[in-house]
Amino acid sequence: MEKKNRAIFIDFEFTMPDRQGRKKGFYQEIIEAGIVLVENGKILEEFSSFVVPTRFPRLSERCKSFLNITQKQVDGGISLNELVNKLKSMDNQQPGLVITWGNMDMKVLRHNCQQAGLKFPLSGKEVDLSMEYKRFFGDQNQTGLWKAVQEYGREGTGRHHRALDDALTTYHIYKLVEKDKQYLKQPKPTTIGDRIDLSKLFNNFA
């Protein structure tokens, strides 16, 4: 993490077109947000909410079934404007890191903001943790979020495709990767000559 050691871990779930094909002008919209604000290794705030899509408010059957989300849940969510304001308040113009698993979350947020005429609310450096993970472990393919956790011998938090659970799981992987990076950076063990001041030793025998 960068100065102030702040990071915002974000996961969004999006609308999906039906298998039959896209409706005219369809684009993905955020329908659930999970956000975890971390400072100096401590969780300061967790936020979770459904979000009402504006362009296509009716969810496709495929979307409801895949995400296990009901129309009623989404209808009771906050507006995109409220989500943007929430992100803005958590960002608080203190640029840390904005960490997601994959690059879709930020792409969709940017596009949704453009479509609604809203200013993009985040000022921090964006990090795609899945690419960091891929580079760090030399995987040929990008790994799915929960597969990555299982490769570490852990289980994800809560349920996959629940936004806050996925944001928390992303945070857990971030901690594990950072720990491994620190381990790899550790200096080589000192030799016995480094540990003992030989001149003092020889003086004792002089």
CATH code for the structural domain at 3-205: 3.30.420.10
Nearest CA to 152 out of 182, 177, 184 is that of 177
The per-residue pLDDT of the chain, averaged, comes to 83
Q: What's the CA gap between 27 and 115, in Å, rounded? A: 10
Q: Which residues have a catalytic role annotated?
A: 13, 161
Nearest CA to 10 out of 103, 132, 116, 82 is that of 103
Question: Which amino acid is residue 113, in one-letter code?
Answer: C
pTM for this model (two decimals):
0.80
- The predicted-structure confidence for 75-106, as pLDDT tens digits, reads as follows 999 999 999 999 999 998 787 899 999 999 99
Q: What's the CA gap between 124 and 60, in Å, rounded? A: 33
**Residues near 15 by Cβ (< 8 Å), separated by ≥ 6?**
28, 29, 31, 53, 56, 59, 60, 63
Q: What's the CA gap between 49 and 77, in Å, rounded? A: 6
The pLDDT value recorded for residue 24 is: 81
Nearest CA to 31 out of 45, 60, 52 is that of 52
Q: What's the CA gap between 129 and 146, in Å, rounded? A: 13
- The predicted-structure confidence for 30-75, as pLDDT tens digits, reads as follows 999 999 999 998 999 999 999 999 999 999 999 999 999 999 999 9
